Amino acid sequence: MRKQLLVTVDRGETRVAILESEGSPSANSGGRGRNNSDDWRVAELYIERRGSRSIVGNIYKGKVDNVLPGLEAAFVDIGFEKNGFLHADDVVFPGVEVARRGRGGRAKGKRITELLKPGQEILVQAIKDPLKTKGPRLSMQLSIAGRYLVYVPQGEGVGVSRRLDDKERDRLRRAAGKAELGEGGVIVRTAAQGATKEDFEREIKYLHKLHDVLQQRATETPAPAMAFQEADLSVRVARDIFSGEFEKAIVDDRKQHHRLESFFNRTAPELLERLAFYEDDEPLFERYNVDDAIQSVLKRRVDLPSGGYLMIDYAEAMTVIDVNSGSFTGRGKGAKLEDTITKTNLESAEEVVRQLRLRDIGGIIVIDFIDMARARNRDTVLKTLRKSLDEDRTKTYVVEISPLGLVEMTRQNVTDGVREIMTKPCPTCEGEGVVLSEETVSIEVDRQLRELAVERPGSPAFLIRVHPKVSSILVGGQGVPGPIVEIEQETGRHFHFEGTEALPIDRFEVVLEGSREDVEERALPFREGEEVLVLIEEPHMYNDDDGVAKLDGYVISVINAASLVGERTLVRIEKVGRSAAQASLVNPPEDTGSQDGEQHD
């Protein structure tokens, strides 16, 4: 698999994209892909905005706010609006055994209430960003990440990433064992593939220096405060994943390019030749179609090449992905239903993993594959899903396919994905995804008008602000009276309406109450005989020769104006109603005028 790293910086945000393409990586290919940018697919996206950086990896000097034995946890003030959550499993004190999750009877070691007290100052590290209504997740097991090693000051021994093959893991363990690593423990990272003892010794010295700075800041800084900040997005991604399988790291910002250059100089000089500065006029993300990928993560539907599609729905407790065959009906005249379903599911399994990585979806995920009759086909789909997940750096756990064709899985949720960063809940529906229908609102307005007449008996007329689609149902049209006629007869009151398309559909507001003359003076936008310049927007729905103009939701039917659609023209108001008026052309076209003359003779 060939890979590229793209970094683009704008005034308000830094964006990073990881591109993948089939084939073997080649450091000598130049990696620019100028003529083959369509060969690359966006695999992962990261966005970091100024003032709202991820806090994962940051270390804080916090103050214990509360200890809850029932939750086996403490809440720690680290200077944020919401306190951080520190579970007993993440409490670490040198030489002290801490009681872990006590679900299986009496746990050994000291309970959290014996180790932490309100007001106590402790060093904690953010291991999960604040998500939705929850504060950050914290741990007292501190770690400082480098390119090849993760230094764990309170740990011991050497661990090696399980994503490496057994032979390389053994070699790295031996190399790390021979190196002078000092006190504490280390974890050898996946990026350390091919690293030597000298690489480890050089990096551990740097990590020890960072730890010394951390200790000094923790001593001098009053709680709550940050004592250590993780690197910014571009350096973090380059440190964690940039390796020999990447052909290029292309950056369009001088400052970020210099930061990465300094980072590679210190950690991996051999990769410096793969760092390139982008100077072309065409935006970097446009050249590699990354902007299209960013827009795609905001959509529910994901189309598959065969004609099938995925529907991705986000809920509070989980994310549900539904697989549909769509227009795909199989290949050839002899195509069988089971084969068609299996092919769609196999294609979907690969695309599901791509979407999980692209959108950075975490938590519980349920995938509803199309039901397959044969166990062999179900196993093939599950195997394809798991194989695709090998490319995913985030920790996942997959359960077997259920008899209903459902796959349950979890994916570690550490920080907000691109969708969460770029969007906010709809202010109209508050994230529900639905709003009241016009008919439902009009029925509710009917009730409110009747109640209004009872509550305010001294006012003979009212001007009500509602959405135009609601008022059109109440008023009626085309010779068919609406409910307002019956309401006025029963209440003895007169009601007029105003409002624009910009109003929320369920808006109801009493704008004016008083005499009928006063309300009509305000409510009716025109007077009979008045001449108005209007834009003929569309032909009349029922009278083919007429045209329709609209002003803030008020409809004007213009006689013999169908030929003037898209043009501005002067009309004379002939008749005025609650929500609509009739008008005639002041200067009708010559052919229209002659036709009218013939009709009147």
Q: What was the pLDDT predicted at 253?
A: 92
Q: Of the given ranges (87-96, 251-260, 510-519), which has the lowest mean pLDDT? A: 87-96
Please say if the pLDDT value at position 600 is more than 80: no
452-484: pLDDT as tens digits: 999 999 999 999 999 988 988 998 866 678 899
CA atoms within 13 A on the CB side of 593: 6
Same domain, 316 and 407: yes
Q: How far apart are CA 589 and CA 582, in angstroms?
A: 18
Task: Please identify, among 179, 196, 230, the residue that sits at the C-terminal boundary of a domain.
Answer: 230
- The pLDDT tens digits of the residues spanning 321-366 come to 999 988 776 665 556 888 888 999 999 999 999 999 999 999 999 9
* Gyration radius (Cα) of the chain, Å: 34
State the pLDDT at residue 449: 95
Residue ending a domain, choose from 368, 388, 422:
422
**Do 248 and 223 have their domain in common?**
no
pLDDT of 552 strictly over 90: no
77 belongs to a structural domain = yes
Q: What is the pLDDT of residue 102?
A: 53
Strand blocks (E) in 146-221:
149-152, 158-160, 185-188
Residue 515 sits in which domain range? 438-523
Q: Same domain for 209 and 345? A: no
Average pLDDT over residues 128-133: 86
Span 528-550, mean pLDDT?
A: 90
Domain-embedded: residue 27: no
pTM above 0.75, yes or no: yes
Task: Please determine, for residue 37, whether its predicted confidence score (pLDDT) is greater than 70.
Answer: no
Claim to verify: residue 415 and residue 470 sit in the same structural domain: no
pLDDT at 33: 41
Q: Are residues 352 and 312 in the same domain?
A: yes
- The residues near 534 (Cβ < 8 Å, ≥ 6 apart) are 549, 551, 556, 558, 568, 569, 571, 583
Considering the domain architecture, whether residues 180 and 210 belong to the same structural domain is answered as yes
* Other beta carbons within 10 Å of 404: 8
Asked whether residue 192 falls in the same domain as residue 67, the answer is yes
Give the CATH number for residue 491.
3.40.1260.20
Peptide bond into 136 cis (omega under 30): no
CA-wise closest residue to 47 among 226, 297, 288, 244: 297
Can you name the residues that pair with 294 across neighbouring β-strands?
Answer: none
Task: Judge whether 101 lies within some domain.
Answer: no
Q: Does one domain contain both 409 and 479?
A: no
* CA–CA dist 231, 259 (Å, integer): 10
pLDDT digits (tens, 9 = 90+) for 411-434: 998 888 888 889 988 888 888 888
Helix-then-strand count for the chain, H and E: 15, 32
Whether 70 and 189 map to the same domain: the answer is yes
Name the pLDDT band for 591 (thresholds 50, 70, 90): low
We report the CATH number of the domain holding residue 562 as 2.40.50.140
What integer best gives the mean pLDDT of the chain? 87
β strands within 415-553, DSSP E: 461-465, 476-477, 480-481, 494-498, 509-514, 531-535, 538-539, 547-551
Q: Are 116 and 198 within one domain?
A: yes
Give the Cβ contact number of residue 435 at 10 Å. 15
pLDDT exceeding 90 applies to what percent of the chain?
52
Q: How far apart are CA 13 and CA 308, in angstroms?
A: 35
pLDDT at 63 over 60: yes
Residue 259 lies in a domain: yes
Identify whether 31 is part of a domain. Answer: no
431 found inside a domain: no
pLDDT digits (tens, 9 = 90+) for 203-239: 899 999 999 999 999 999 898 999 999 988 889 888 8
From the centroid of its chain, how far is CA 251? 24
pLDDT at 47 over 80: yes
Q: Does 347 share its domain with 283?
A: no
- Does 202 share its domain with 351? no
Give the chain's domain count.
5
Assigned domain for 207 exists: yes
Dihedral sign for Cα 169, 174, 175, 177, please. Answer: positive
> Is pLDDT at 169 greater than 50 in this prediction?
yes
Who wins on pLDDT, 94 or 369? 369
* Vertex 114 angle, CA 112 and 115, to 5°: 65
Please tell me the predicted confidence (pLDDT) of residue 32: 43
| Position 308 in a domain | yes
- Given 523, 550, 566, which residue is the final one in a domain? 523
